[in-house]
Structures are given as C-alpha cells and as structure tokens.
Structure 1
Amino acid sequence: MLSSVSPVDRSHLPDPVANMADEAQSLAQVLVGVRRYLHRHPEVGMEEHNTSRFIRETLEGYGLDVYGPIAGTGLYVDIEGSAPGGAVGYRADIDALPTQDQKQVPYRSQTPNVAHLCGHDAHTAIAIGVALVLHNNRDQLQGRARVFFQPNEEGLPSGAPLMIRGASWRGSTPCTRCTSTRPWRWAATASSPAPQRPRPTGSRCAFGRKEPATRPGPTRAPTPCGSPRS
C-alpha cells in the first residue's frame, strides 16, 4: 500500500499542497491538507471553479493528466494499467451546501453561507487519494481506471448526467463497475461490495446503468444528503 507520494512538478502544485510537499510526502498528510483546504473554501454546485482548479493542479503536480472541464467544472483522470483489461469508474462529488458553517475550528469555512457539511470535501480528497494510489501502482493494473470529479451533486440538474452528455465516457471502454464514496446511492460494486440500501426496482446509477432493487420488499427513497441516517 502506498504510504508516501512525491510530486513530479512541485512548482505546479497549489500553494496549500506545495507548502507541505517534501521529497517523499506522507499520503495521509497530503489528503488531510487537501480536505482541510477544500473545507475552508467551499463552493456551491456549478460554481466550483476554485475547487476544480485546485483538483487539477494537485493531480497534475503528481504527474497525472487531467481532462475537462466537463459540465462546467467537472474533471476526470485516467490511469492506464500495464496490461489489457476492463474499465472501472470511481466518482466523487465536489460541491458544498448553501449554509453557514457553525464550527469553531481552524479549517472552518471562510465563505459566508457556504459550507461542506455533507462530506464532499472528504469525498474529493479520497478520490484524489484513489487516483494517486492507482497511478503509483499502474504497472500492476490491468485495464483502465477513470476517476471522476462531479459538480452539482446537491442541485438540479444533477452534474452526473451533465458529465455523461459532456462525453466523460468518450474514448473509454464501457465501465464494468462504477463506485463512489456513497455506494448505497450509486451502482457501486467492487469484489466485496458494501451493504446497500433498498432502492426502487429499475432505478439507475449516476452513469445511467439500470439496476434492480437490492432486496425484495418495501422500498424507500434515498435519505437526502445531510439528513440523519438510521
């Protein structure tokens, strides 16, 4: 497992990441710094311009090619394995909520009435970590992994279909698996899938794949983002 990462071009990194970049930087340190920067600088859906720039500069600084923008502020990266194989997609949402951050911590939101209270800053940091780990292990991979950074998960129209229409799948083998930081809300499935919540028969994941209900019996609508979960 990757425990440290080294930037390819430190001068290209955004300042918050470059300021803590050593020759071999702790991956945990990088991702904590990424998450806290995003938490301090939240942006609502379809206005995630600084967020998108920060993601791009971070990934490019570690040697990845970033594609986009798609759907205004969406991005993706491809990690090509050393051998032929299928395709896997991993998705994170990048938008914040239009609400005031009431916390008293050093990394609280600096933007009035906008805050990451639904965890999308953490989702984005995790997806950056996924991309870095896969990139550093690409000689052991078969096929392609595509990591998406989707705008406007909280609003309508959702950023997911906008990214599809914007050709985020162009040039890609159709994904055999799609997963995200909320596997019960999307068509996730890795070899050991997380427990999934009931969903209506015939519902679709973020990328338009039809899927059956997870188990027979009554269904319920997904819990709105930010609401208490049972």
Structure 2
Amino acid sequence: MNLKERIIELAKQFSAEYVGVRRVIHQHPELSFKEINTSILIRKELLKIGIADIVSVAETGLLATLHGREKGKTVLLRADMDALPIQEENQVDYASSIAGVMHACGHDVHMSSLLLTARILFQLRSEFTGTVKLLFQPGEELMPGGATLVMKEKAYQKLGTVPHLGQHVMPKLPAGKVGFRSGQFMASMDEIYLTVIGKGGHAAVPEECIDPILIASHIIVASQQLVSRMASPKMPSVLSFGRIIGDGANNIIPDRVTIEGTFRTYDENWRALAIEKLTKLAKAIADGMGGECYVNIPKGYPHLNNDVRLTNAMKNSAIAFLGGENVVDLDLWMAAEDFAYYSQMNPACFYLLGVGNKEKGITSGLHTATFNIDEVALETGGGLMAWLSIEALEQ
C-alpha cells in the first residue's frame, strides 16, 4: 500500500470519530474571540492524538507542531474557530444549543477536518520529512480578524515565510469535490458606517425639518456610481448596503439615519480611491441638502491572493488524490477572508471543500440559519489536507 492509499484508508477509518467531534463543536458554538471552550476541546483532541507541542496564540487560538521523521521544510495548515450571531433553524440532534449563535459558515467543519488531518499525519509521521504547523485561529468573522493577532505572536513570527494551506466549505460544490483558483481569489472588504444628521419634526411640516431619510436615500442611490461609473468594468467591485435605521414614525421625521454596508474589490489603489470618493460624495450630498454625514470606514481585510506556483501544484496533487473529475476550477469569489493577511506575506493556497448534496436537501448557503453539510465531506477534507501538506513539504 503506497502513501496515498494509506492516507485514504486512514481518513476512512477515522472520519466517523471526527464527524462526532464536529457535531459537538456545532452544538456548542462560540462567537469571535470568545472561543474558550472550543479551544479547550481542540487542545484535548490534539493531546488525545499524541500532539503535545501546543502554544496559545491570539488568546483563544492554538498553534500545534507535528514533526516528521527528521527536520526539513515547514508548512502551516489553518482552520478558523468562531461562529456567527445567527439563530439556527435546522431540526437535527446536534443543532446549536446556544440561542442566537450558530456555526453557519462551516468553521466547525474546518476544525474537525484539521483534527482528522492531524490524526492521519501523526500516524504517518515516520513517512515524511519536515514540520507541520496546525493553526486553530479565532475571530475570522470579526474585524480586525484573528489572523492579524496571530501574525503578531512570537510563535508565529519564528516560522518566517512558509507555505500556508487553508480550506473553506462550499455548499454549491457537491461533497467529494474541491475547487482551486490561483492568483486573485477572494475580495478585500471594508465595512461602511454612515450617520446622516438632519433636523427632525412633524411629517406635516417638512419645510421646518431637514429630512435625514431623504438625504440617506440620495446617498445610497448616488453611491452606486462608484461601481457603475467610476470603477473600471475590468475590476470587480461590489458596494452593498444591508442596514438602514431611521427611527422616526409614519408621522415623524427623525433627527438622524444610520446606514451600514460593505465595499469589496481586488485592487488596493482602486479600493483606497473608492473609499475617498464615497466619503466625499456622502458628505457633499448631505451638505447640499442642509444636513451632515459622518463617515466611518475602518480598513478591513485585503484581497486573498493564492500563490500561482503553490496553488497549481496543490491542484495537481488534489487531482492525483481525488481524481480529475472531483477537482474543479473556481471563479473569483467576492466574499472576504482574513486568511488573506497570510496570503499577502506567504505563499498561500486557499481552496474550497464541497459539502453540498441536493439529493439530501443540503443546499442552504453560507451565513444562513439552515446551513448544513453532507458530513461525508469530512473524510475528503481531512484526507486531502494530509496529502497536500506532505506534498507541500516535498515541493
């Protein structure tokens, strides 16, 4: 039995155990930077495997080390840990037991899959040369992102520049399949907070008021020019507003309106220019209509860039492991990920793990109350990452 066959066999042998681990994590989700019990569980699972070289990073995160038969290169494997503020609606035995908190982005899968990878690699540690770093990272969903905190840790900085591998669940891909894209993959993302100040009053006398709802409406419509008329059609850009609060009534014009949204793109120069233009536009419209607009756009995650050489090599390795019919090419994905910070400083490969199954009715998207996975994907995810990590060490 060759190494690939052994990894496949071990993934099949151990996967049911880590399906169980995934269900425990799913049932007890914790929000960003509050992953205390999740961290305790992961540490226990690593120790159970036999991996005792574990250090804490970014408070609730863990960085574990697994050595091969002798010294060599290093590869880092990353899984994120945090859940989302969503009330789960799935009717399953392992549904979230925490009101208003749910693993709706698959981080429970990422963690349990990486634990399975660790179990496989520990069994095969005499079969490869080099070091595998297992990073369980907190706070991916909340700015400034756990990655920024991990990168400040001495334990991480000692690594220098090393290949980083990460995977993310994707319900649009059937379980058993994975997807790769080299170069630009995921977008930058900046959060937008606008506060429009007017003068409230009775709806019957608008001439005595400065209507912030009307001002906000003009700002929202006009700001779409950033994408439709100011951005190059060759540069993907998405400006979306998802929250507007004008706390008046049917006969009351409020004093203020708050607007929240996001801006996503792939070019850092255009990103900075767009934010500058949006700021000027919002302020000018409010001023021209007699009000004010306060703009707060904290800088968010950069775009995620997959190293071309590493990603192409990992894609070819995935084809060798899963078969060409199970490896697909991906398009740009306008979602954002703080794994992007690692990709700006290291050769990185971030790929998608299929978890959907239309026949089983598992089709809900990420960040929804009914998101779930076909758990056979854990066997694929854990086995493939074990294979890819060894292949990366040999590159």
When normalised by structure 1's length, the TM-score is: 0.74
- Indicate which of 180, 204, 209 corresponds to 2:345: 209
Cα distance between partner residues in 2 of 1:53 and 1:144: 23
Asked if the contact 1:154/1:225 (under 8 Å) is kept, the reply is: no
Task: Tell which structure's C-alpha radius of gyration is larger.
Answer: 2
**Counterpart in the other structure of 1:180:** 166
Asked if the contact 1:86/1:173 (under 8 Å) is kept, the reply is: no
Asked if the contact 1:43/1:95 (under 8 Å) is kept, the reply is: yes
CA deviation map 1:204-223 (0-9, x unaligned):
833242679xxxxxxxxxxx
Cα distance between partner residues in 1 of 2:47 and 2:156: 20
Cα distance between partner residues in 1 of 2:97 and 2:116: 24
**Counterpart in the other structure of 1:32:** 19
CA deviation map 1:173-203 (0-9, x unaligned):
631x211113755547453337454489xx9
CA deviation map 1:159-181 (0-9, x unaligned):
01101102242443631x21111
Amino acid at match of 1:179: L
Cα distance between partner residues in 2 of 1:98 and 1:204: 21
1:14-93 alignment runs, 5 A limit: 26-93=13-80
Match of 1:75, SS state, is: strand
Change (3 A) 1:50 1:79: same
Amino acid at match of 1:148: L
Match of 2:111, SS state, is: helix
Percent of residue pairs bearing the same amino acid type: 29
Deviation for aligned residue 1:34: 0.7
Is residue 148 of structure 1 aligned with residue 270 of structure 2? no
Cα distance between partner residues in 1 of 2:158 and 2:94: 39
Amino acid at match of 2:164: C
Asked if the contact 1:59/1:66 (under 8 Å) is kept, the reply is: no
**Higher-RCO chain (CA-CA 8 Å, sequence separation at least 6):** 2
Asked if the contact 1:87/1:174 (under 8 Å) is kept, the reply is: no
Change (3 A) 1:167 1:140: same
Change (3 A) 1:131 1:210: closer
Deviation for aligned residue 1:4: 5.4
Cα distance between partner residues in 2 of 1:157 and 1:112: 25
Match of 1:55, SS state, is: helix
Change (3 A) 1:124 1:192: same
Greater fraction of residues in helix: 2
| Structure 2 residue ranges without an equivalent (≥5) | 1-5, 169-179, 187-303, 316-327, 349-364, 372-395
**Counterpart in the other structure of 1:221:** none
How many equivalent residue pairs? 195
Asked if the contact 1:35/1:122 (under 8 Å) is kept, the reply is: yes
Change (3 A) 1:66 1:154: farther
Asked if the contact 2:161/2:346 (under 8 Å) is kept, the reply is: no
CA deviation map 1:1-43 (0-9, x unaligned):
25459xxxxxxxxxxxxxxxxxxx9411211011000010000
Asked if the contact 2:29/2:96 (under 8 Å) is kept, the reply is: yes
Change (3 A) 1:162 1:173: closer
Greater fraction of residues in strand: 2
- Indicate which of 108, 116, 119 corresponds to 2:103: 116
**Counterpart in the other structure of 1:167:** 154
Change (3 A) 1:61 1:153: same
| Structure 1 residue ranges without an equivalent (≥5) | 6-24, 213-223
Match of 1:36, SS state, is: helix
Asked if the contact 2:81/2:108 (under 8 Å) is kept, the reply is: yes
